[in-house]
Amino acid sequence: MAQSFDLILRNGMVVTPNGTARTDIAVHHGRIAAIGGLGGASAAEETDLRGLTVLPGVIDTQVHFREPGLEHKEDLETGTRAAAQGGVVAIFEMPNTKQSTTTGEAILDKLARARGRAWVDHAFFIGAASDNIDHLAEWERIPGCAGIKVFMGSSTGNLLVADDQTLGAVLAQGFRRIAVHCEDEGRLIERKHVAEEGAHPRVHHHWRDVETALMASKRLVALAEKARRRVHVLHVTTAEEMDFLAAHKDLATVETTPQHLTLAAPECYERLGTYAQMNPPIRGAQHRDALWAAVASGVVDVLGSDHAPHTREEKDKPYPQSPSGMTGVQTLVPIMLDHVKQGRLSLERLVDLTSAGPARIYNLSGKGRIAVGYDADFTVVDLKAEKIITNDWIESRCGWTPFDGMKVTGWPLATIIRGQTVMRDGQLLGAAAGEPVRFQECR
């Protein structure tokens, strides 16, 4: 008797743990039910993907959606629309606003507000602060909580864990991997004069210099070793940090971003001004080259977009009044596919950085690979498509990207989440039906 499924994807080049090959995928009840030649099977929906490539659903483990619900800011609806349009099936949202998520109740509230508004699957971090340390071990296990986020240096918002005593206390609470923004607050204050009023944005990476990042990463690792706590160092930007972290992979995993792999100072600041401003900053080409070397050697575990949108009105303020941050969730896939085309990494390595890596680091349940029993999450791409990224394509409410006008080869054509096609050929389909991401360490 012929098998019957909900969905069959036929004839795509599919990237599985067993290699990349042309094959079929069957989906039943939101999960992958079979992989292989399914010529005798039928389904309620069948799609021929001949000529296209099927990746495990891309997961963006670092986005910031700013002030929810305000018309001129990003929110869950617009931010996840951007994710779906860019081929991303799940996002982990991190707090860094004045209304930061610092309690278990706030996590539950965000999860409730995401129902019917989030286009992709989602999880939310809790921001560590001096007044919530005693609750972190309990709250980090709330289903839908991605873990704890720490700011060692001030960025956007009011979260800051600057001193070793407080950071050590945070690391001592709980057991899940902690995500950390590593910039040394004392050195930022000491060097603030570099970013004096009226300065050009090109000084941004001189103010927040290499030593600012390296000092914080060294402090974090020393305290993590003392506490025996796993840590995840976010958006690493320097050659020196990569060399240091390579020697501490027993506890520390490493993220970098498409922006830091693509842009370089001083050119980006001359061309984009404050629109190139983010924390940690875009640095010189020698650091970009070092990041690529760390990708090639395996030191980098994951890519996150650090999507942190601001309106043009905000970004047009004179430096340093201008806020740091840029869009990224929608451009992660096409930017990185173009790097694949240019030979800077393999397609399989990209999958490791954007699907298997997030699953491994955060102990996800049912996501991160194309395998029987896993969620039917797929990012369908055309590796040969030549497109130009434009501001008009951006779904984020702010409506701009630092990659406006960039020609890329490789483009997301469909986003499929738990067997439901959410985006096809640039059009969002159906209704927002994202669900909380499941974690093995959450009760």
Q: Tell me: the pLDDT tens digits for 242-262?
A: 999 999 999 999 999 999 999
- Peptide bond connecting 68 to the previous residue in cis, omega within 30 degrees of 0: no
Q: Are strands 19-28 and 31-36 parallel, antiparallel or unpaired?
A: antiparallel
- Exposure on the CB side of residue 68, measured as CA atoms within 13 A: 18
- The residue from 24, 184, 301, 306 that is catalytic is 306
CB 305, CB 292: distance < 8 Å: no
- Number of helices and strands (H, E) in the chain? 15, 17
Write the DSSP symbol of residue 354: I
Q: Which residues of 129-138 are buried (b: 16+ CB within 10 A; e: fewer)?
A: beebbeebee
- Exposure on the CB side of residue 236, measured as CA atoms within 13 A: 33
Helix/strand/coil for 210: helix
Q: What is the mean pLDDT of residues 367-390?
A: 98
In this structure, the number of other CB atoms found within 10 A of the CB of residue 164 comes to 14
Q: Does pTM surpass 0.95?
A: yes
Distance separating alpha carbons of residues 248 and 421, to the nearest angstrom:
41
Per-residue tokens: 407: 């020609």
Q: Which residues of 395-433 are buried (b: 16+ CB within 10 A; e: fewer)?
A: bbbbebbbbbebebbbbbbbbbbbbbbbbeeeebeeebb
Distance separating alpha carbons of residues 303 and 264, to the nearest angstrom:
17
Write the DSSP symbol of residue 356: I
Residue with tokens 């067997």: 419
Query: Which CATH number does 4-54+371-384+408-428 carry?
Result: 2.30.40.10
Please spell the DSSP secondary structure of 277-288, one letter per residue: --SSPP-BHHHH
Averaged confidence pLDDT in the chain? 95
Backbone angles phi, psi at 21, to 5 degrees: -155, 155
Model pLDDT, residue 113: 93
Model pLDDT, residue 167: 97
The domain made up of 58-362 is a member of CATH 3.20.20.140: yes
- Would you say residue 283 has pLDDT above 80? yes
Range picked from 89-98, 126-135, 405-414 for highest mean pLDDT: 405-414
Distance separating alpha carbons of residues 11 and 25, to the nearest angstrom:
9
Angle, vertex CA 128, rays to CA 122 and CA 134, nearest 5: 115
> Residue ranges of the domains in the chain?
4-54+371-384+408-428, 58-362
Distance separating alpha carbons of residues 14 and 17, to the nearest angstrom:
10
In this structure, the number of other CB atoms found within 10 A of the CB of residue 174 comes to 20
Per-residue tokens: 285: 């080409």
Residue with tokens 């109740």: 105
Model pLDDT, residue 158: 56
Model pLDDT, residue 360: 98
Model pLDDT, residue 74: 80
Question: What confidence tens digit (pLDDT) does each residue in 328-338 have?
Answer: 999 999 999 99
* Residue 306 annotated among the catalytic residues of the structure: yes
Distance separating alpha carbons of residues 379 and 13, to the nearest angstrom:
12
**Reported confidence tier of residue 70, pLDDT bands at 50, 70, 90:** low
CB 56, CB 356: distance < 8 Å: yes
- Would you say residue 102 has pLDDT above 90? no
Distance separating alpha carbons of residues 140 and 318, to the nearest angstrom:
39
Examine domains 4-54+371-384+408-428 and 58-362 and report if their fold is the same.
no
Distance separating alpha carbons of residues 174 and 177, to the nearest angstrom:
9
3 or 304: which leads in pLDDT:
304
Model pLDDT, residue 97: 57
Model pLDDT, residue 335: 98
Question: What confidence tens digit (pLDDT) does each residue in 160-171 have?
Answer: 899 999 999 999
Residue with tokens 């349009």: 85
- Would you say residue 156 has pLDDT above 70? no
Model pLDDT, residue 75: 87
Distance separating alpha carbons of residues 199 and 194, to the nearest angstrom:
8
Distance separating alpha carbons of residues 361 and 67, to the nearest angstrom:
28
